[in-house]
Structure 1
Amino acid sequence: MTSGMMNAPVRFSTAGLPETDRIARWEEHNAKALIGLRCRSLHDTALDATEINLQLPTAHLARVVGSPHVVERAKSEIRRVSSDAVACYLTLAGEAFFYHDDGVRLLHPGQLLVCDADQPFMRGFSHGLEELAVKIPHTVWRDLGGPRSLSQPLIIDGAVLTRTFADLVAGALRPGATPDVDEEVLLELLASVATGRAPSLSAVHLSVAKTYIEEHLTDTGLSAARVARGVGISERHLSRVFASGGTSVPRHLLHRRLERAHALLSTGEVAAVAEAAARSGFASAAHFSHRFKERYGLRATDLLREARARA
């Protein structure tokens, strides 16, 4: 299921609203766009919160940033409006507590919470929050092979699959970006994260491998063999996966390292070309300089000189 024609992300913010109306407007927006919740601000301050929403054919994606507050999915709210959905929350910054029938959990950045949105819960963000949220229907969750009962929520620590899932969601919601996400890949990743089952789609393997490469880009010893081990597939299959995307692991690695070096040089973040090469994973500054001129048609030293002149 590819993205095809897709709605643009919708942004809602309490900024600029009368302080006395912010809670009600925030609750109203979430009831329509995501899940109905009761909210209250902490520290006697007005709620300052922003949410970016994107509806895919079956899943709903959101990025939420907010000041300290507490939200509650109460029994009365569930009886009034059932969501018939599973909610996934991935903490990006700050800590969040999650109160459920089985106790209180504390979530840290990089952890993914999966819960039944029609089971009562409370979530709190004493220092504010920044998170990604994904809502999928119960029927889709069951089709993915997720646990039929979420009487106890799942809390999954960050791993390369989780980080890839987060990258895909965040990329689709990035301000100014054209939404471009393959929902089938996204859901397959979620199924793998939630169940521990190895993903079967080559497109998922490609996304996970690219995430692994980004995280180890500065390592001069990074190789196709190491990437394959890191994502749990054979080197031969990894080669086929990248070939299906019209490239190879070495070419992709070189491309991303050159892009990183170009960004460092053009913004003047480095003192010398050799530093840009080292910070981009090149073992040899001479090899880097040759490849850079071959790719961009100008010398790395000239780009750095231009950046310094602008500064």
Structure 2
Amino acid sequence: MTSGTASAPVRFSTAGLPEAERIALWEDHNAQALIGLRCRSLHDTALEATEINLQLPRAHLARVLGSPHVVERPDAEIRRVPSDAVACYLTVAGDAFFYSDDGVRLLRPGQLLVCDADRPFVRGFSHGLEELAVKIPHTVWRELGAPPALPQPVVVDADAVHLRTLAALVGRALSPESAVAADVDEDAVLDLLVSAASGRAPALSAVHLRVAKTYIDDHLADPGLTAARIARGIGISERHLSRVFAAGGTSVPRHLLQRRLERARALLGAGGGTTVAEVAERCGFASAAHFSHRFRERYGLRATDVRREARAGS
């Protein structure tokens, strides 16, 4: 598995910027961080937009929120800022349209659009937008066994379990509320995108494993989280859940403990005023004593020492 927190998420917002300069600054940011676009705001209001970017070893992730506007990627912009990449947009909120040389597509929340970023297009968001974007270089796209070219954009409904997993994986990595950057399963993100774009279903057990791991990460603070509750939460039997984890060389309790300890170590290493007891509670341990025992058993270090060193370093 390729994990990716090679760089921390970077946040850019037009809030507080001079209204007359917002569009130009938004265009400059996107040209450097994601894809070069020309932008114009709808109505007579200043653009309100925020983007959280995360560069991984093989792909770039972004969460985009904005007021009503239109973006265009014409030939001149493609020549000025070529991307040599495939662009994937998963709509979270707000209807949108996508116009290219083969016609117009209307997109609803829960749909995925995959297109060649170096073919001209226009996108519009009449009621604003919230979306997750992934930019994948053409070389990586081909290495993954995807169609070598995208002569036409592909639109996929996100009702399928693998696209819900994709939304959870990307969304959690770019959550503005996240205090600690979670490891990103980059292989899973890329596999799910290629599967969706090519119309092939990923291996069912692999999908269930990713769904289960996503569910676990989203509920780590719950001390009552069990295999039975995880199975119910993702819609499979507890027996099948156990088989899925066994095929991956682990078990549900072992993986759950591992993720809790990994998150706890990240929280302790972040410094700040969080106590060991608070970290234990935030990571779903029933007691600080049980957490401290498990932490020392796993890392050969006391949680208090890790916290003390982190605070001293900061």
Q: Provide the C-alpha distance between the structure 1 equivalents of 2:5 and 2:233, rounded to a whole number of angstroms.
A: 35
The CA deviation at 1:82 is 1.2
Is 1:190 the counterpart of 2:163? The answer is no
Q: Provide the C-alpha distance between the structure 2 equivalents of 1:92 and 1:43, rounded to a whole number of angstroms.
A: 23
The unaligned stretches of length 5 or more in structure 2 are 219-225, 261-284, 288-314
Q: Is the contact between residue 242 and residue 252 of structure 2 (CA under 8 Å) also seen in structure 1?
A: no
The CA deviation at 1:236 is 7.3
Distance 1:223 1:125, change over 3 A: closer
Q: Is the contact between residue 145 and residue 195 of structure 1 (CA under 8 Å) also seen in structure 2?
A: no
RMSD: 3.3
Residue number among 244, 251, 257 corresponding to 1:238 in the alignment: 244
Q: Provide the C-alpha distance between the structure 1 equivalents of 2:50 and 2:76, rounded to a whole number of angstroms.
A: 26
Distance 1:35 1:114, change over 3 A: same
- 1:52-91 → structure 2 map (5 Å cutoff): 52-91=52-91
SS in structure 2 opposite 1:244?
coil
The CA deviation at 1:162 is 0.6
Distance 1:4 1:138, change over 3 A: closer
Distance 1:74 1:240, change over 3 A: same
| Structure 1 equivalent of residue 24 of structure 2 | 24
| Structure 1 equivalent of residue 6 of structure 2 | 6
Is 1:112 the counterpart of 2:112? The answer is yes
SS in structure 1 opposite 2:52?
strand
| Structure 2 equivalent of residue 173 of structure 1 | 174
- 1:83-102 → structure 2 map (5 Å cutoff): 83-102=83-102
Is 1:161 the counterpart of 2:169? The answer is no
Equivalent pairs, count? 250
Distance 1:225 1:140, change over 3 A: closer
| Structure 1 equivalent of residue 48 of structure 2 | 48
Residue number among 206, 210, 222 corresponding to 1:207 in the alignment: 210
Q: Is the contact between residue 5 and residue 184 of structure 2 (CA under 8 Å) also seen in structure 1?
A: no
Distance 1:138 1:183, change over 3 A: same
Q: Provide the C-alpha distance between the structure 1 equivalents of 2:131 and 2:73, rounded to a whole number of angstroms.
A: 17
Partner amino acid, structure 2, of 1:137:
P
Deviations 1:137-175 (A, max 9, x none): 011111222222212101000121111001100111112
Q: How high is the TM-score relative to the length of structure 1?
A: 0.71
Q: Provide the C-alpha distance between the structure 1 equivalents of 2:241 and 2:252, rounded to a whole number of angstroms.
A: 17
Is 1:227 the counterpart of 2:236? The answer is yes
SS in structure 1 opposite 2:104?
strand
SS in structure 2 opposite 1:16?
coil
Q: Provide the C-alpha distance between the structure 2 equivalents of 1:224 and 1:183, rounded to a whole number of angstroms.
A: 23
| Structure 2 equivalent of residue 129 of structure 1 | 129
The CA deviation at 1:4 is 5.8
The CA deviation at 1:113 is 0.3
Deviations 1:271-300 (A, max 9, x none): xxxxxxxxxxxxxxxxxxxxxxxx848xxx
SS in structure 2 opposite 1:104?
strand
The CA deviation at 1:5 is 5.3
SS in structure 2 opposite 1:247?
helix
Q: Provide the C-alpha distance between the structure 1 equivalents of 2:4 and 2:61, rounded to a whole number of angstroms.
A: 16
Distance 1:210 1:8, change over 3 A: closer
The unaligned stretches of length 5 or more in structure 1 are 256-294, 298-311
Q: Is the contact between residue 52 and residue 63 of structure 1 (CA under 8 Å) also seen in structure 2?
A: yes
Q: Provide the C-alpha distance between the structure 2 equivalents of 1:247 and 1:16, rounded to a whole number of angstroms.
A: 47
Partner amino acid, structure 1, of 2:31:
A
The CA deviation at 1:197 is 2.6
| Structure 2 equivalent of residue 280 of structure 1 | none
Q: Provide the C-alpha distance between the structure 1 equivalents of 2:18 and 2:193, rounded to a whole number of angstroms.
A: 38
Q: Provide the C-alpha distance between the structure 1 equivalents of 2:102 and 2:234, rounded to a whole number of angstroms.
A: 43
Distance 1:5 1:237, change over 3 A: same
Distance 1:35 1:22, change over 3 A: same
The CA deviation at 1:205 is 3.6
Distance 1:224 1:104, change over 3 A: closer
Percent same amino acid at aligned positions? 66
Q: Is the contact between residue 64 and residue 130 of structure 1 (CA under 8 Å) also seen in structure 2?
A: yes
Q: Provide the C-alpha distance between the structure 2 equivalents of 1:238 and 1:98, rounded to a whole number of angstroms.
A: 39
Q: Provide the C-alpha distance between the structure 1 equivalents of 2:143 and 2:108, rounded to a whole number of angstroms.
A: 29
Distance 1:248 1:296, change over 3 A: closer
